[in-house]
Amino acid sequence: MAEKLTPYGKKIQKKLIDKGMTQVELAKQLGCRPSYLCNILHGNRSGKIYREKIASILDVDPVA
């Protein structure tokens, strides 16, 4: 069974769709592996060090 996105992951996924970006593109801009970004979106990793950068790239609240 596939893991579900966290509420934060769902918000990031929606922003990626709105901006026409992929997770791979976002991961490249963050300087992390796409698999690590996936772990953040699914709640397996906190991704604390990337949240501010994700927020600035996608224009989202870094806390939510």
- Are 16 and 57 in contact by the 8 Å Cβ rule? The answer is no
**What tokens appear for 55 in the block?**
């927020």
At residue 38, what are phi and psi to the nearest 5 degrees? -60, -40
- Are 2 and 46 in contact by the 8 Å Cβ rule? The answer is no
DSSP labels, 4-46? PPPHHHHHHHHHHHHHT--HHHHHHHHTS-HHHHHHHHTTSS-
Say whether pTM exceeds 0.85.
yes
pLDDT band for position 42 (50/70/90)?
very high
pLDDT band for position 63 (50/70/90)?
confident
| 64 pLDDT higher than 90 | no
Residues 43-61 have pLDDT tens digits of 999 999 999 999 999 998 8
